Amino acid sequence: MKARYFYLYLFLISFSVTILVSCKNRASASGKTKDVPVKKDSLGTKTEKNVSVVINDAATILKLKEIPILCYHQIRDWKPTDSKMAKAYIVPVNAFRQQIKMLADSGYHTILPDQLYDYLTNNRPLPTKPVMLTFDDTDLDQFTVGLPELNKYGYKGVFFIMTVSLGRPHYMSKDQVKILSDEGHVIGSHTWDHHNVKKYQGQDWITQIEKPTKQLEAITGKKIDYFAYPFGLWNHEAIPELQKRGFKAAFQLYAKRDQQNPLYTIQRIIVPGSWTPAQLSNAIKSSFK
């Protein structure tokens, strides 16, 4: 009988050591771990329930290769009244079509924010030559011109919606936003009326971010996880406000990524209306080596 307890004692010690070593190995990668529930990834593959995954820390995220994220606004032909500055944000229809065709012909694959998030936080592999296509401000031509071009090549985009404009002339309707979401494109939050985040105080966080995001969730029937700063401008005060409202990441434009919160300062590049497909290709290659 004593021998039985002795061997049981040895077994329990051995089992405990095995568990401790296993946990230590999982946590030895950069960052911390968390459990993730059952879900399907972009390829429809189920992931296991309560599988411990590594969450990269800021320093590790900053070392990863950046992914080209293109930012579009209006897709329409220039008018005589358009200023030089305005033309930087307006991509003529044929130029847009040629740019998207170039991406497809060059073998680029569009990715969505969840894929980018998994890549940054857990080193999840991406398709070859990944690119993200984002569209700001709810312009109607993104739906009438942009969407057919994306569909032509099986591409998916991210649409950051400014809710004050929903249903107004030259802007998308709620039904059109719902169609985008239902077809597999991602809807993101872009404030109520495009006020500069750097000027927010008190109730502004609710008016500009919380309420519009809830409205988009009601329209799409899905949680809104991603945010784009108006004008691409961010400040440190905005990050905890976005975090406590459940955003997983946020997108800016020109500034360097924050060293402590790179997920909330992901860079994008505006595609000027004057760029040829070759210029866009060169910009991607030179900026994201």
pLDDT digits (tens, 9 = 90+) for 186-218: 999 999 999 999 999 999 999 999 999 999 999
Helix, strand or coil for residue 251? strand
d(CA 210, CA 226): 12
- pLDDT per residue as tens, the chain (289 positions): 434 433 334 333 343 433 333 333 333 333 454 544 544 443 343 444 444 456 899 999 999 999 999 999 999 999 999 999 999 899 999 999 999 999 999 999 999 999 999 999 999 999 999 999 999 999 999 999 999 999 999 999 999 999 999 999 999 999 999 999 999 999 999 999 999 999 999 999 999 999 999 999 999 999 999 999 999 999 999 999 999 999 999 999 989 999 999 999 999 999 999 999 999 999 999 887 6
SS3 sequence of 146-200: HHHHHHHCCCCCEEEECHHHCCCCCECCHHHHHHHHHCCCEEEECCCCCCCHHHC
Question: How much of the chain is in helix, strand and coil states, percent to nearest 5?
Answer: 45, 15, 40
Q: What is the pTM of this model?
A: 0.83
Enclosing H/E stretch for 227: strand 226-228
d(CA 267, CA 224): 19
d(CA 143, CA 8): 67
User: CA distances (Å), 197 to each of 21, 72, 118, 205, 252, in order?
Assistant: 46, 20, 26, 9, 11
